[in-house]
Every structure is written in C-alpha cells, then in structure tokens.
Chain A
C-alpha cells in the first residue's frame, strides 16, 4: 500500500505584530505615551525644518538612540529592505524633477521619520499603543465618543489581523489551485466573507459577555 503523502507545510506568514527587539534598554522601559510624544515632536521638527542638515542629523540621531537603547541595528534597518523599491523610485524622481539638494532633503526626511517610528514599534507592545490611543481620545468624550469602546475595537483589530492574514493567504492559494491567481475577485471575496463571519462571531462573543450592559 502506498504511504499517504504528508501534506506540504504552508510557508510561514510574515510576522506583523510582536516584532519586538530583544533586550531591556531605556527605550523598552520608558512609558509608551512618552515615546509617542517624542516621536510626534521629532517628526514635527523634521517636517517643519525642511533642511537637509536637520533631516540627516535626524537619521544619525535615530541610529545613535538605537545603539544607546540596545536595539539591534539589523532589526531597525530591516525596514529599508522592505521599502527599498519605494526609496529608489523616490530618489530617481527627485533627481529628475528637483535639484540634488532638495532631493537629499526629501529622502533623508522620509528616512529619518520612518526609522524613528520603527524604533518606537520595536520597543513597544501593540497593546500599550492602544492604551495611548485611549488616553488621547479621552477629550472626545464630550462628543459622545467612548474611548473604552474604541480601545475595544482596536483590540478586536489586533486579534483579527493574523486571522485575516491567514484567510487571505488561503484565498490566494485556493485561487491559484483553480488557475485564477490573476482574478482579483477570486482572491479577495473569501477574505471578505470570512471577515464578515468573523465579525459576527466576535460580536456575539462580546454580547455574551455583557459588553452592551456595561
């Protein structure tokens, strides 16, 4: 009798959340709200200044901070590997349309702000960011917005991302198996229906736990 073929394992999905730098430097320990505020300040400075010196200095500052906080530079610069195509296109465009100095400023500005944000992500847990969002939304209470419920929706979102990412990959493989890998509808419709179903189940689970009575 022929041995049953073992199913081929699915390739691992790209990890989105929880990509946290190891270690326990000062950035890991400082509160998330402070880091978000610093990032906002830094971005605003670089955006307002629009000087090549400031932006380039910003890149250096981010790299030095990463070193001081024991964040591996390899993890920080992994961002460039994912965005290199965008950066190359931007560089070409700037050389075409602008003078080199403006081009250098635009590129270093984008690099500095993206790397600074990456530094925040690498040292902060997603749930901490949701807590920051909740605090930031507190003033909107006067408009009838409940920060607690928004935070709950954000947590539902965090939970749903890996689930939907798997659904999307499965939909792609199913479409490919039917020879429909170039059919947008075949690749996205299972994801959408899965999302609606997942939302219904989640909504019922929330109701069952008495969220509406709170």
Chain B
C-alpha cells in the first residue's frame, strides 16, 4: 500500500500525550497489556475454525501471542503473554478448552504455554526494529519473519519438550506430533503479520512513534 505524503505529516489527532509517571508503566501501556492478554484468551477459547479451500480446522491461541509481540513490541508483548499465562496458571479458566490452573503443567500443552511469553518477546524485538527502521512495503514480509522466528525459537522447542516429558514419549514421537501444527502456524503467522502491519499503519501511536 502506498502512503500519501500528507498523511505522514499531519499529526494524528488521537495520539495520547505520553506522560511518564514516576518510574511506572504509563496508563496507556497498562491498558494495552491488559487488553492484549484478553485478546490471547479470547482467541484461545475460540473453537477451531476451518480455513482455506480444504477447510482444515486450526486453533488460534498462538496467533494471539504472535499479535501481542508484533503489535505491542518486546516488553509489553512479554507482559501481555506473561499476564495471560500467570492468571491461567493461578486458576482463571482462560486456556484452550476453558481449562486453567496449575493442572495444565501436567498436561500436553505445558511446554507451549510456558513458551508464550518468550515467543512474544522474540517476535516483539524483531517487530519493533522492523516498524521503526524498515520501509513500509517491507513491513508485512518482515513481520511474518518476526512471528515465525518467535515460534521456531521458543514455542516449538519448548512444546516438543513438554509433550515428551508429560506424555512420557520419546522426543522423536513428540516432534512428529508437533509437525502437525506447522502448516497452521505458517498461515497464522502470515495473517498476524498482515494484521499487525495494518495496525501499525492505522495506529502509529501503539509502537511506531512510541
């Protein structure tokens, strides 16, 4: 998408003035962290939706995590995913299937859940550099790389480890189970990157001009 030159010069009317509080997190960041933690939860308990011409059902939990990193940047993304995981572990029924509590640490998804904050951090680090330095037409592909990097470096290794430990199966079998999620992961990362690029264009106050 091309940008109109005038668009960049007129200051957006709705940029909240940033007011640093005494060493604390500003109110706008608190709101973003809370709302994106809720976004992860809402996407997590959406039933698997059929996607594409084959209608393969995919779940959206990891997409919320990718979005938190891509839209909020590293630290607030980490905070949002961390808040989600922490409240879920304490017992709120916000994990997939309305589960919650320390019990999920015994279940098959333990590794994936614990890796979410790190994945958001990794994606966020790359995403922040991308939206501040790269030209706009590169945002979408580079944000896709950011999302998939977070997924490859954090979510999948930890997920495989968790599967192997909690189901008492070998790492190879766990890897086989994990491979099932890869195509969906690529689709979700693509969508998350496109959506995040749109948010950064529409609402530069979130990360670009922060």
Indicate the size class of the contact surface on chain B.
Answer: 35 or more
Q: How far is the CA of A132 from the CA of B92 in the complex (A)?
A: 12
Contact yes or no, B86 A36, CB < 8 A: no
The one of A82, A132, A191, A213 that contacts B39, using a Cβ cutoff of 8 Å: A191
Residues of A within 8 A of B43 (CB): 168, 188, 191
A70 CB within 8 Å of chain B? no
A199 CB within 8 Å of chain B? yes
Residues of A within 8 A of B138 (CB): none
Q: How far is the CA of A160 from the CA of B43 in the complex (A)?
A: 13
Chain A interface (Cβ < 8 Å from any Cβ of B): 14, 16-17, 19, 36, 39-40, 43-44, 46-47, 79, 82-83, 86, 90, 93-94, 97-98, 102, 105-106, 109-110, 112-118, 120-121, 124, 126, 129-130, 132-133, 144, 146, 149-150, 152-161, 163-165, 168, 172, 181-185, 187-189, 191-193, 195-196, 198-200, 202-204, 206-207, 211-214
Q: List 6 A-B contacts (CB under 8 A).
A: A39-B101, A79-B98, A113-B102, A203-B16, A207-B16, A214-B24
Chain B interface (Cβ < 8 Å from any Cβ of A): 14, 16, 19-21, 23-39, 41-43, 45-46, 49-53, 55, 58, 60, 63, 67, 71, 79, 83-84, 86-87, 90-94, 97-108, 166-169, 173, 177, 187-188, 191, 194-196, 198-199, 202-203, 205-206
Across the A-B interface, the 8 shortest Cβ-Cβ residue pairs: A117-B101, A156-B34, A113-B103, A203-B28, A160-B38, A203-B31, A206-B27, A202-B31
